[in-house]
Amino acid sequence: MPDFQLIGHRGARGEVPENTIAGFHYARRLGLDAVELDVHMSRDNVPMVIHDATVDRTTTSSGPVADYTARELAEMDARATFPDWPEKVGIPTLDQALDALGDIAFIQIEIKKDTEERMQAALEAVLDIVKQRRLSPRVTISSFEQAVVQEVARLAPEQSRAYIGDFDDPRYLQTALELGCNQVDMSLERTSKEMVDRAHREGLRVVGFQCNSVDTLRRALEWGIDGATSDVPSSILPHLTRT
């Protein structure tokens, strides 16, 4: 079997409520050793694990994440994408998510787009939690936002960091190198084997997104990608173990 890491995207967002404790427990039960999650800040400056800037899509509530306290977010019903999920799940804090992930080998924490001040606050909070928990060797901090990745380099130069993008243009790779990244996250629909090869020549780990079909898995393996995020890891794992 090739040295390839399947990463549960937001836990396993196509199979269980995304970015929830239930989702992270599910990913671990599948046997995944890697998970990706997203962070926004609550009104009271607690890093919360949620992808969108609003709660509208994933909960039965509405409005910006920034308008709610951590306690209010925790009390929401975050089953909106899986209304038949048998138990209520709320929006977890980053600390709660990390507790659920336990000793999992790899955690990718994505800082989501927000105001400059809130992204800075989110990053500082994440770095502090990672340091307190001594998780740095198992964590990569990522973002689509160049400014966030640049701040990781400034505040915690030894912390693994990744720049996310389509990588359908060489400028993405040049930016990642200027930011001192250890990893690049490339769209499997937009990038190319040539770009993957160039990244590898520069010593970068390459993660693809999203790997939700056997055809996409085959392409990722043929290109020599190091890992890929998946919304539906239970349907990918059997094919990966046969490869």
- Mode of pairing for the β-strands spanning 5-9 and 47-49: unpaired
User: Cα separation of 180 and 199, whole Å?
Assistant: 12
Q: For position 240, what pLDDT does the model report?
A: 87
pLDDT digits (tens), the chain, 243 positions: 358 999 999 999 999 999 999 999 999 999 999 999 999 999 999 999 999 999 999 999 999 999 999 999 999 999 999 999 999 999 999 999 999 999 999 999 999 999 999 999 999 999 999 999 999 999 999 999 999 999 999 999 999 999 999 999 999 999 999 999 999 999 999 999 999 999 999 999 999 999 999 999 999 999 999 999 999 999 999 998 765
Domain ranges of the chain: 5-242
Q: Phi, psi (5° rounding) for residue 199? A: -65, -45
Q: Out of 3.20.20.190, 3.40.190.80, 3.20.20.70, 3.40.50.300, which CATH number does the structure's domain 5-242 have?
A: 3.20.20.190
Pairing state between β 34-41 and 47-49: antiparallel
Coil, helix or strand for 37?
Answer: strand
Residue 222: both structure tokens together:
């043929």
Measured in degrees and rounded to the nearest 5, phi and psi for residue 100 equal -65, -35
Instruction: Report the pLDDT value the prediction gives residue 2, as an integer from 0 to 100.
Output: 52
SS3 163: strand
Position 9 scores a pLDDT of 98
